[in-house]
Structure formats: C-alpha cells, structure tokens
Amino acid sequence: MGLVDKVNRAIVGCQRCPRLIAHCQHIAQVKKRAYLSETYWGKPIPGFGDPKARLWIVGLAPAAHGANRTGRVFTGDSSGNWLYKVLYETGFANQPGSTSINDGLRLKDAYISCTARCAPPGNKPTREEISNCSSFLEQDFEALRHVEAVLALGSIAFEAVQKLLAVKPKLKFTHNAKFHVENLSLFTSYHPSQQNTNTGKLTWKMWEEVFWRIREELENKPLSKSNFVASHRRQTLNEPKTPRSS
C-alpha cells in the first residue's frame, strides 16, 4: 500500500472530532429528500487524485449532501461541478462531471485534500477541529512528493496551507494571487461554493483564469488554450476509462 493510501485509510477511521463525526452520521441518517434512496458515506473523506501530482488543491471541508453522501471529495454537489469541469478543461481530469465514486473520474497530475475531512455544521469547522485535522494535511504533503504548485480554495484553506508551510510573515488572502514559498508556487482562489458562484463573487472567467495560470506555470510556457484543449481531449478520448481509487 502506498503512502497516500495509508493516509487515506487513517483519515476514514479517524474519530478525533466528536461533533463532526456525530454530524456526518446524523446527516447520513436523515438525508435530503432528493437522496432518500441512497446510502450516505457518513464518514471522514479521504483525499482524491494522482499520487504523483504536481498540483495539490486544498479545499475547506466536505459538503453534507455532497462528499458526505458520495464518499469522494467535491463529488455530487455544485462546487464539485465547478472544480472538475475546470480541471477537465485544463487537462487535469479525464471528464468534466463528478456524480458518484464510481463515475470513472480520474485525475492526472492533480490531487485534492481538505482542511477538515468531515462535513461540518454550517460548513464551518471550528479552529480546534481544523487543528485536529492538520496532521492529515501534513501527511498528504509528505506523501505527495512531486508537488510544485499548491492551490488554496478560500481564506481558511490558505491559512491552513501557510501554517503547514511555516510561512512568515503571514500572507493576505486575495483571489488569484501567486506567492513563492521556498520551491513551491502557492496560488489562491475564492472557493467555488454556491455562496460565491451564485452571487457573482466568483465568475467562471475568474475561476478558469486561476487554473490556466497554474497550467502555464507547470508547463513553463504560455499556452494556446484552444490547442491545449483539443490535444487534451484527443488524449483523454484514447485513454481507457477504468475507475481509479485514490
């Protein structure tokens, strides 16, 4: 078993935050009307993606009826629709949609973790819960040995990443910023939550600009987006669609 799988196994078995564990289980029992026939995951959510990723994306926490239902990060909710669509457009995913853990989605050169791995009430983990979960971010970072770029989604994830990387003095969060921290490039974006996407705080243009910037940095050259998309689609069409576990 690889290091990433070991971390994920530890995450799924974690019980460190009683409030969050109880909340995840409660949501899994009461469910949402639209998903009454489904069996919810109802546990901490492991990371997902390519263990050899150069891009590491750090989100906030699983959604109650998204990842807490489906068992895969950013899967089955509107934030996931935004994230995987842009990852597909910029060549990090084999398909734009993420509906269930068995939908065939695979990431290439990208890995996704969360600041807190359990769905919190009101989408707000406490400081103590974030601190409890920080060891899993450290373990992911340790396991992902090829990371060159880190993308923090939202100010809480940005703060957690800064703590992990021992950034001093503290950096201020703004959308689509880029910082150099030792040999890493640290990028920021507003989180693609409905609160941000429905209000226009985060538009699709603002969102995709972040990922194209990262893609260009990783390729170390300016890209013609239309050529890149065409070549990426040719590649993914030729790849076998076997599901991949994280």
Residues 87-106 within binding reach of ligand SF4 (CB under 6 A): none
Q: Is 23 in the site for ligand SF4 (CB under 6 A)?
A: no
> Hey, CA dihedral for 108, 148, 146, 13, is it positive or negative?
negative
Q: Which stretch binds ligand SF4 (CB under 6 A): 11-19, 87-95, 150-158, 182-190?
A: 11-19
Q: Which is nearer to ligand SF4, 92 or 141 (CB)?
A: 141
CB of 108 to ligand SF4, least distance (A): 26
CB of 32 to ligand SF4, least distance (A): 21
CB of 13 to ligand SF4, least distance (A): 9
Q: Which is nearer to ligand SF4, 137 or 218 (CB)?
A: 137
Q: Is 21 in the site for ligand SF4 (CB under 6 A)?
A: yes
Residue of 50, 77, 89, 129 that binds ligand SF4 (CB under 6 A): 129
CB of 86 to ligand SF4, least distance (A): 26
CB of 115 to ligand SF4, least distance (A): 9
- Is residue 153 within 8 A of residue 57, CB to CB? The reply is yes
Q: Which is nearer to ligand SF4, 130 or 151 (CB)?
A: 130
Q: Whole-angstrom Cα distance, residue 115 to residue 10?
A: 15
Residue of 17, 55, 105, 119 that binds ligand SF4 (CB under 6 A): 17
Three-state secondary structure readout of the chain: CCHHHHHHHHHHCCCCCHHHHHHHHHHHHHCCHHHCCCCCCCCCCCCEECCCCCEEEEECCCCCCCHHHHCCCCCCCHHHHHHHHHHHHCCCECCCCCCCCCCCCCECCEEEEECCCCCCHHHCCCHHHHHHHHHHHHHHHHHCCCCCEEEEECHHHHHHHHHHCCCCCCCCCCCCCEEEECCEEEEEECCCCHHHHCCCCCCHHHHHHHHHHHHHHHHCCCCCHHHHHHHHHHHHHHCCCCCCCC
Residue of 133, 149, 202, 218 that binds ligand SF4 (CB under 6 A): 133
Window 31-70: contact mask with ligand SF4 (x via CB under 6 A) = -------------x--------------------------
Q: What is the Cα 133 distance to its own chain's centre?
A: 15
CB of 123 to ligand SF4, least distance (A): 13
Residues at the site binding ligand SF4, with contacts judged by CB under 6 A: 11, 14-17, 20-21, 44, 116-118, 129, 132-133
